Amino acid sequence: MSPPARPLLRTRPLTVGNLRAFETVARHRNYRLAAHELALTQSAVSRQIQAFEQELGVRLFARHTRAVELTADGVELLASVGSLLERLDLTVRQIRHKASRQTVSITTFASFSSMWLIPRLEMFQRAHPEIDIRVEASDHAVDLEASGIDIALRYGPASRMPAHAQRLFGEQLTPMASAWLLKNSQPVRTAQDLQGFSLIESIDANHSHLDWLTWQRWFETHQLGHLQPKRWLHFNYSYQMVQAAMSGQGVVLARLPLVAESLANGDLVEVLPQDRTESPMAYWLIVNPRSLNRPETQNFSQWLTEQALATRRTIGEKDAMA
């Protein structure tokens, strides 16, 4: 009796669509969620997985009533597929980018985007109408290499920045309010006088690594550790705090670079200009090494440095006054 025939060794290239379906199902451990991400029906995804298993000659998933579990072969394959598809997608994005319009993509945190970058963008667009701008606001640092984003505008101490980061400007904290509020309230001559006002602060500042942005830290710096205001107003974001101050609802401990224009045009008034405090943080420009030689990235980076110089001059940062 002849021995059973061994399965034929499959050597043809794998179908990329089936490979992506496998990675998505394996990542979610769920056909429905995978189908939603791929914009397909569950049955279409199931057919792709079956076809992929036939291509490989092994089972990749153990199917249960309510769950999808990877087999040992599936676990081994998934370890390679994720990074492979990421590199493939990044290369495709770069190829498409070269063939399309000039575009500069920027990642930065939400407050900096809304308070400093966006109000200035119209000037760049007037000067460079041929360049499209894409701003992605996130409070989490994005990996430039993996994401393909051209420029990051970040906030932090020099010790946390890469060697090629360019410092845009530092940061000072100072109490600010609307001219209307100050005109219709008791005079503010010393920090002690702030107890007669509502003070505006971030909800999270006292419970995070940003404690130097708090009024409590500012009070301690000025030997007023036990001062209590008329009332507190708390908000999630810096731009909300500044908006509340501009509408006369209280005094905000503002990040000077982010409100430099509001100070210059009179929307906000510096209550105690002699009592500014230095922050340990600064604002930085980081360019993706892959984008360094693209003319549109160079144009935008140069424009950012010019805008940063104008901000340093407005807030009186010493290196800008030389």
| Structural domain harbouring 88 | 16-98
4 domain residue, yes or no? no
Instruction: Tell whether 164 and 186 lie within a shared domain.
Output: no
Q: What is the CATH number of the domain that holds 189?
A: 3.40.190.10
* Interatomic CA distance for residues 313 and 306, integer angstroms: 11
Mean pLDDT value across residues 173-198: 92
Judged by DSSP in three states, 185 sits in coil
What would the pLDDT profile of 109-143 be if each residue is shown by its tens digit?
A: 988 999 999 999 999 999 999 899 999 888 778 78
pLDDT at 2 over 60: no
Report the candidate in 253, 260, 242 with the shortest Cα–Cα distance to residue 275. 253
Identify whether residues 151 and 128 lie together within a single domain.
yes
Q: Is residue 1 part of a domain?
A: no
Across residues 50-58, what is the average pLDDT? 87
Which of 48, 43, 41 minimizes the C-alpha distance to 17? Answer: 48
If one counts the domains in the chain, the total is 3
CA–CA distance, 277 with 254 (Å, rounded to integer): 11
Residue 83, class by beta-carbon neighbours within 10 Å (0-12 exposed, 13-18 middle, 19+ buried)? exposed
pLDDT at site 319: 65
User: 48 to each of 73, 75, 203, how far by Cα in Å?
Assistant: 17, 18, 48
One domain, residues 286 and 157: yes
Is residue 199 a part of any domain in this protein? Answer: yes
Predicted confidence band of residue 318 (pLDDT cuts 50, 70, 90): confident
263 and 176 co-located in one domain? yes
Q: How do residues 240-269 score in pLDDT, each as one tens digit?
A: 999 999 999 999 999 999 998 898 889 999
